[in-house]
């Protein structure tokens, strides 16, 4: 049992997310990805309404070194959130 726990703790949120994507129920994964894409689309539309060139604004934020850690933390949080959503429906 302890080896399984240790195995779960090894890897990045991204690698664990990919493992879950490939092994979880396809319908659950599709539903969660659809909800995620819809949310991203809504955020893009909000940005388009707020800024003339939202792509430029996004790139500026992404490649600004002072945002690097915050962005990395948010990406990892999203992987963990999606994993939790998928796993909670897979029980």
Query: Three-state secondary structure along the chain?
Result: CHHHHHHHHCCCHHHHHHHHHHHCCHHHHHHHHHHHHHHHHHHHHHHHHHCCCHHHHHHHHHHCHHHHHHHHHHHHHHHHHHHHHHHHHCC
Check: CB of residue 24 under 8 Å from CB of residue 87: yes
Mean pLDDT value of segment 15-36? 95
Q: Where are the domains of the chain?
A: 12-89
Q: Find the angle CA(45)-CA(50)-CA(55) to the nearest 5 degrees.
A: 65
How far, in Å, CA of 64 to CA of 68, rounded? 7
- The pTM of the full predicted model, rounded to 2 decimals, is 0.80
Give residue 35's pLDDT band: very low, low, confident or very high (50, 70, 90): very high
Q: Does domain 12-89 have CATH number 3.40.50.1370?
A: no
Q: What is the pLDDT of residue 29?
A: 96
């Amino acid at each position: 049992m302890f080896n399984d726990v240790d195995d779960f703790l090894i890897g990045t949120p991204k690698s664990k997310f990919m493992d879950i994507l490939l092994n979880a129920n396809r319908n659950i994964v599709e539903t969660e990805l659809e909800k995620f894409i819809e949310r991203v689309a809504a955020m893009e539309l909000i940005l388009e309404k707020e800024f003339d060139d939202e792509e430029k604004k996004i790139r500026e934020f992404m490649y600004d070194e002072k945002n690097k850690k915050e962005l990395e933390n948010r990406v990892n949080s999203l992987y963990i959130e999606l994993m939790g959503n998928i796993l909670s429906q897979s029980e």
